[in-house]
Structure 1
Amino acid sequence: MRLSDITIHRKLFLLVLILVCGTLITAGFALNFNKSDILEGRKARIQSVVQAGLSQIQALSAHLDKGTISQQQYDRQLLELIHATRFSGSEYLYLFNLDGINVAHPLMPELRGTNQMDMQDEDGTYITREMLEGVKANGSVFWQFRWPKPEGGPAVSKLGYAEQVPGTELVLGSGVYLDDLEAIFQARTNTYLGITLAVLLAALIGTYCIARNITKPVGRLARQMNTLAQGELDVELIDTTRRDEVGDIACAVQVFRDHLIENHRLRLIQEQVIFLETFDPVTRLHNRQALGEAINKEIARHDRDHKQLAVIVIRLDLLHEITIEKGSETRDEVLIALAARIHDKLHADDILARLSENTFGLLLPNVESRESLESNCRQLLETIAQPIPLESHHIQLSGRLGISVFPDDGGYDFQLIGRAESTASLAKRQERDLMFYDPRALNETDHSIELWQEMQKALEQDQFYLVFQPLFDLKDNTLISAEVLIRWEHPEKGFISPAQFIPLAEQSGLISRLDAWVLEAVAKQIRNWQDRQLTPPRIAVNLSGISFLRPDFIDTLTRIYGRYNVSLDHLELELTEGVLIDDLDRISDQLNSIRATGVSISIDDFGTGYSSLSRIKNLAIDNVKIDRSFIDDLDNCAQDLKIVEAIILMAQGLNLSVIAEGVETQEQLTILRQQGCDTVQGFFLSRPLKVDAFEELLEQDLVIEVD
């Protein structure tokens, strides 16, 4: 069993058991060392007595050697010395020679002159022989034997010590009786045992109190954690006021509970956002994003099967007028009824979606022929034209159908939907009920051809110029960057709106050249600022999906900025949501490669239908820009406010910065600041400025007013 498998309560009990055993073992060693210390003290005492006698015998021997005393006097004084030396009542000195002959014994004079080599105690120990062997080997010896006391009685343990008299054949010895050691040791044992038991008892009581103070709240916290893990968030934590580690854990559990509550709230918001990302809240149909994803899935399948699919955009006439006359509730009733009616006429694989206020989108994945498709569209028009009964009256609508077919009319969902929408708009202008996409009908008008030709000349003659719309940081209310926009000043026709020439550039294939011109113009402007010792802000450039997905885009980008010796850290690329519907692995690789150069990435017009937070969370991007359609009515529309709040919360949860575009009122700015938006731009703060005016704004070190 591993230690980690044992409960804290049992671990504490085991710890106490180890401490008790350790204390008892320590006490045992202490008693044993104490006994040894007493015995060493006895040894030191008899050794000092013997050595004192040795010094006296050496003094007598010195007098004998000098002739100051005779041999007879020496022998007499030696006997007197031995007989006179008594200590501690029962201890005495005795004298032997190295042959075991007793020279003098104060208590048994009859032993004098006798050989005592065979003298034994009651245990069979040869007392004299052991003494002389130790002396001959080491010059002195300690040894133990059993011998009766002089006053009689049974033999008791005795410690003997003997040492050879230097320069003689004599051995002087003595001994001390050890019968009192047991009593001393027993008394000290009782004392040690009493102290040890008292200490252990106090330790056990203290340990129990401490263990209870630990195990009880820890067990309570464990139960509370299990309760939280099961999703029950109404848990009362009572240990957060403690100042120990248990209190720290309780505080951490409280923070964990608060995070769970917040995550639960965010999950509800996320579910709402996910629903809004996928479904239209009024009709419960798929929205533009979901329809685009479905189209792409069908395109991937049809690429393998080599089949056709059709995208139909249904533009409803007079729906806007119904809203004005009858109100939004009546409009919603009409839409719900019409959506249910159309849905009943569809096949299981067909997908109906709501694209905008007065537009439906329809995906037909299995198109047999153009004739059968047109026949189905005629039936769809008849279904739409049938009166819709309301409470007090009937409403009859008509529709305009624009049709695009894969693969002839496009290879991506945004192309198929966009071209079907353009065709539906053209059908309304020409008062036709349905039209198939025809690029000649849409683009090859005299005006479009002329504009296309003029745009090529404008690129060659450098008729385009840049304007800069400032972006402001809402944390410190300062200008931090600018979005660069392209403008066209025709030498004869004057200002031409980007809404005219940019869509034409996308349709005619000029958009990549236009993007390259903008990137180079930005690099040139940054170089100009740096040469004039000005600090350039980060510049955001709108980039088309066509340019972004080109295999040579990164080489083109690095070549342009390398030519002007400008760091790509100054550049931010804004991509529309439509770019993200391409192959995710391909997009991710391209984004990672671009980010590696130092360029920042923003997703423009976020929320309009193509992408989702669940899709972009794994992509290397820095910012999301909330589409201005959610900002326009932010202070009046609760639904827009909820969507903006959800986007900000979820984006910042993914460590993405949030930019709101199209801020035109103080109320909108106030709401965005309250919701925690990071950056804003719009006419309320500044219109797009030419370079001179923008530089003046930079030099003013402008700070927006805090409301």
Structure 2
Amino acid sequence: MTSSLAFYFSYQDTLAGKKDQIRSVVQVSASQVLHLRALKKSQQISEADYLQRLRLLIYSTSYSNGSYIFLMTQEARIYLHPKRPELEGLLINEVPHIKNGEAIAASFKQIAANPEKSQFWKLYLPKPDGGPSLEKLTYAQLLPDSDLIIGTGVYLDDLIPVYINRALSYITITLAVLLAAFATAVLISRNIVQPIIILSGQMKRLSSGDIDQEIRFTHHKDEIGQIAQSLEEFRDHLIENKRLRYMQEHVQFLENFDPVTRLYNRRAIGEALEREIIRNFENQEQVSFLFIRLDLLRNLTIELGDEQRDQILIETANRLRQILSINHRLARIGEGCFGLMLINKPAHINLEDVADSILNTIEQPIQLDNLQIQIGARIGIASYPEDGDQQFELIGRSEIAAKTARKREQGWLYFSQIKGQTAEHKLALWQDLSTAMDQDQFYLVFQPLFDLESNAPLSAETLLRWTHPTLGPISPAVFVPLAEQSGLISRLDHWVLNAVAKQCRNWLDKDIVFPRVAINLSGISFLRNDFEQKLQSIFSQYNVTLEHIELELTEGVLIEDLGRIQEKLKRVRNLGVNISIDDFGTGYSSLSRIKSLPVDHIKIDKSFIDDIDTNPQDLKIVQAIILMAQGLQLHVVAEGVETERQLSILREEQCDVVQGYLLSRPLPVADYEALIDEDLIIEGD
């Protein structure tokens, strides 16, 4: 269709152009002839001169590839014909090979009858060089005041090459336009339509949950790029929302489940046990709790590593699941400890049989790669209401029974079978712990830590003391384990944090410049999901910044769940808190295992310092710890320094910080304030 239109418009354009050309030629030539006639009329030239110059004009006028003009008389007689002079003087219908002479003569007579009107005709005339008559486009007009008609024409077949050339030009232009349009369409498709289709598909996949795809066209600088970037931001929001949902679900999971065995954790089993106690309060139905303690799991962890230890725990948990019934609730409540709660125990089930079945199951060999491991266990049993009416009492007393079973080399033991004043004394203290916190029977003392380079107090370790109203002072070595066993350790840690924040506020109000305050914290409190918020809340209540605080965590806490604790430590340190590893060397870790942990200090346990001046092995251990720690850019604290010789050795080995009775005992608040004001110089042998 486009080609046909191109040909048609080319033909019309060529024809119109030729018409304009021959009209112009005739009009110009006519003016020249009239000029000659005027010269003759004014006798400026003779008749002969006029005829000669007229002939020269007609014969010499040529244009457009040999086209010519001619003169005719009104009666259609050829007057001058530059191409066929032999025809001059003949009537048009007398010219040989003219098929339509009458029609041609009639055309010229029509011009004579209407001299003011020039017109075009299509006549059939032979070419001057012979041949058949061909269609010729002719234009003629009557010269005023004469009987002459001047005209010219063009054979239409001579226009074919021009027509074709123009048609080809139109076609070329048309094709160029079409190609440009096609290229533009392809460009639009590639740069606009196709990206929109692709981005639309990506949006649909995003809405279907495919958030891992990479959004395309984000590098574009146009509107497509803006759309792609917005889609990428939308995808990033979806990813972040998914991550937050996962974290929330993971946090909720960790609040109630152990991440290794997927069993209930200590908190969840304690709450479940509390609910069962309340449910059975009226009818006093028995609820039994079995504390299952695996033997030598720590030793296996040292030999095999955390991963193999976890495999042992998982296999043990899976075996226990298979032998338990619907009325049993199994939990992991410690590093190598499981707890089992029996609900509505049927009368025909014997607790001893359950315990024996558990022990037999645990003692079956465990295949770890090419290694076969066999472990044992001890079980302590406590029951409601005989052994207590609180969940922490049942869990704590069943743990005591399990420990006692191990000492007695028994497989299992009822708590009721334990006799002796020591157990009774502990039971009484359990009851008094909660009351002691409510009545502020606890108080704080501070033992300074000294920087061996500046000889100044670097920090002070906060120590908790308990004066019982009837029993007098109770050692932390007694009441802290009891708090852990009874589930009160978190409350005790909260009391300490609150007391430290309050004391710091008191010093600030007195304008006393004090070094950092180190706080011993249990792993249970530190690993709680809300620990950071609780820490900030307590200290912000007293308007005390956390830069004043250092937390001391035991080595065992940091190693039991290395992956989880790493992120926890980063978040706590970001609050401005320093972190110390307490009692380093007494656990089962090494600096190579904790090198990735974000901590500030390690404290060498007192047991290595006691004989550092007499035992070469202890000295080598201390030297290795200092060298490795300083290589990891950790400060080293030596605790338990009691002699000047010990202090001198530690100074020689470039220990950073020291603590011990030689320098200062734990001090009450007033004495510690006095110490801060003193210019103390530490010297050794």
Q: TM-score, normalised by structure 1?
A: 0.43
Q: TM-score, normalised by structure 2?
A: 0.44
